[in-house]
Amino acid sequence: MDIDRREFLKAAVGTVAATGFFGPSLKEVLGKPPRPIREFRFHASPARVNLGGGPDLVAWTYNGQIPGPEIRVREGEIIRVFLKNYLPEGTTIHWHGVPVPNAMDGVPEVTQHAVMPGESFVYEFEARPAGSYIYHSHVHYQLDQGLYGALIIEPSKPEESYDREYTLMLEDWVIRDGGGVAPTRRRPPMGMMRGMRGRRWGFGQGEAPLLEPVYDGYAVNGKVAPAMGPLLVKKGDRVKLRLLNPSSATIYDLRLAGHTLTITHVDGNPIVPMETDVLRVGMGERYDVQFVANNPGSWFLAAREGGLGEGRLRIPIQYKGVNRAEPATAVFHRGLRFITYWDFQARYPSGVIPSGPPAKFYRQTLSGGMHSPYWTINGQIYPDAERLAVRRGEWVRIHYWNPSMMPHPMHLHGHFFKVVNPSLSRDHWLLKDTIIVDPMQRVDIEFLADNPGSWFHHCHNLYHMEAGMANVVIYQS
């Protein structure tokens, strides 16, 4: 789908060059400078961290910090990341949402071998299209141990205006007992182990996948409230927030006290701006929002309590020059606007995004969980899962049906997809790369097979993914 954005840019450049409005200068068009290369050095290693809500814990980190360093580049630049592995097991980095060349996608045994302890690997790809992304390890439970960070690709030409900007990563943690990694891992109860399969990818002989931990720390940018300092704003500011959810198993419903949020981008893609009171952000999803600072005081941007403790995730927002007080909390009363995917419209001039009738159709039934530690697609457990064969250039439709009791944020690597919306023409369907399929819900998506390779396709609940809810899209020649 980077084609879409590329086509769009081409179209935009065309019109603009003709009118000479904000287009590239003649010099830029004629003498194309080499693309700047932006280099980053990441060492993956265990490190002692403190999230502010309890004792130190040993997390797995990039460069010793939680989250990893923010990568911020301009669209069209080349990102080159030197990864050195100081962990006791193999690792990779996946560039979640970015349609990278297949060999750079970071999925063990699908696009590369894991980078073993002491080894290095160089990831290199073009930063395109602009948007908010997440990078993270794609090996075992490493995402839940701290191996993630933000990847921000700024547009090559400014496309929106704002006065200040914050990146906010929403993270679920186990803090008690020394935290996130081994000690609190939950094994399935014996009853569940009966009838379990033996050897599986990712597990030792006969080892069962783990159950979701019971999280007790909800952090933002590595800090649990109240350890996180407030976001400072000035009266009159237009503030942009990039809300990224690298959590392994938590969906957040967010509300900003005293203000209305305007959503501008969904999974990095521009939409016709939409206001909402409550914004749901699933694992792997990204939302760019803006608000106008027109209500001086101290406020919380907070998550709704859904019974798992995620209501403790809160971000203080403080107006400059206003006396610090305990921030006003966000109340989730009845009758709030709660936006859904089908309320959004992609923001492209019509006809610019390619679209066409799907040539292939796949049904994916998402189930499992009840009496087994496994989660499945069409009853199959990855890697013993049928692959979805596609041909380059064709549109592919996937129909998801979720008869299970859990929501599944389904993520497709290497492509954006359109969310099928019968009340809009194809040209305006929302572009995403991760979509929550709710219990008892049916959802259709379509994507253009424009990026050859083998692409992982899975639930972004890490514990569901590791328990089998995954398969691979392959290109046939």
Residues that bind ligand C2O (CB under 6 A): 94, 96, 136, 138, 284, 411, 413, 456, 458, 460
Site of tokens 């690997």: 121
Count of positions on this chain that bind Cu ion (CB under 5 A): 4
Q: Which is nearer to Cu ion, 85 or 461 (CB)?
A: 461
Instruction: Give the CA angle between residues 143, 144, 147 to the nearest 5°.
Output: 40
**Shortest separation between residue 350's beta carbon and Cu ion, angstroms:** 35
Q: Which residues ranging from 385 to 414 are in contact with Cu ion (CB under 5 A)?
A: 408
Using CB distances below 5 to 8 A depending on partner kind, what does residue 458 bind out of Cu ion, ligand C2O, none? ligand C2O
Site of tokens 């942009």: 240
Q: Which is nearer to ligand C2O, 111 or 264 (CB)?
A: 111
**Shortest separation between residue 456's beta carbon and ligand C2O, angstroms:** 5
Using CB distances below 5 to 8 A depending on partner kind, what does residue 432 bind out of Cu ion, ligand C2O, none? none
Residue 152: phi, psi to the nearest 5? Answer: -115, 120
Among 459, 462, 470, 473, binds Cu ion (CB under 5 A): 459
Using CB distances below 5 to 8 A depending on partner kind, what does residue 218 bind out of ligand C2O, Cu ion, none? none
Hey, what are 43's tokens?
Answer: 């060492």
Q: Which is nearer to ligand C2O, 316 or 414 (CB)?
A: 414
Burial 201-218 (b: 16+ CB within 10 A, else e): ebbeeeebbbbbbebbbb
Q: Which is nearer to ligand C2O, 97 or 222 (CB)?
A: 97
Among 66, 115, 464, 470, binds Cu ion (CB under 5 A): 464
Residue 104: phi, psi to the nearest 5? Answer: -100, 5
**Shortest separation between residue 105's beta carbon and ligand C2O, angstroms:** 8
**Shortest separation between residue 89's beta carbon and ligand C2O, angstroms:** 18
Asked if 458 interacts with Cu ion (CB under 5 A), we say no
Residue 210: phi, psi to the nearest 5? Answer: -80, 155
Q: Which is nearer to Cu ion, 81 or 465 (CB)?
A: 465
Would you give the DSSP letter of residue 117?
T
DSSP result, 68-85: PPPEEEETTPEEEEEEEE
138, 161, 182: which is closest to 46 by C-alpha?
Answer: 182
Q: Which is nearer to ligand C2O, 225 or 244 (CB)?
A: 244
In terms of phi and psi (left: phi > 0; alpha: psi -120 to 50; beta: otherwise), the region of 178 is left
In terms of phi and psi (left: phi > 0; alpha: psi -120 to 50; beta: otherwise), the region of 131 is left
Asked if 283 interacts with Cu ion (CB under 5 A), we say no
Neighbours of 249 (CB within 10 A): 19
Site of tokens 């009845």: 334
Asked if 381 interacts with Cu ion (CB under 5 A), we say no
Give the end-to-end CA distance of the chain in Å, rounded to a whole number: 20
Q: Which is nearer to ligand C2O, 318 or 434 (CB)?
A: 434
For residue 224, CA distances in Å to 216, 279, 372, 475 come to 10, 20, 33, 43
Q: Which is nearer to Cu ion, 130 or 459 (CB)?
A: 459
Residue 129: phi, psi to the nearest 5? Answer: -85, 170
**Shortest separation between residue 61's beta carbon and Cu ion, angstroms:** 26
**Shortest separation between residue 468's beta carbon and Cu ion, angstroms:** 10
Q: Which residues ranging from 138 to 157 are in contact with Cu ion (CB under 5 A)?
A: none
368/375 Cα distance (integer angstroms): 4
**Shortest separation between residue 284's beta carbon and ligand C2O, angstroms:** 5
Using CB distances below 5 to 8 A depending on partner kind, what does residue 374 bind out of Cu ion, ligand C2O, none? none
For Cu ion, the binding residues (CB under 5 A) are 408, 459, 461, 464
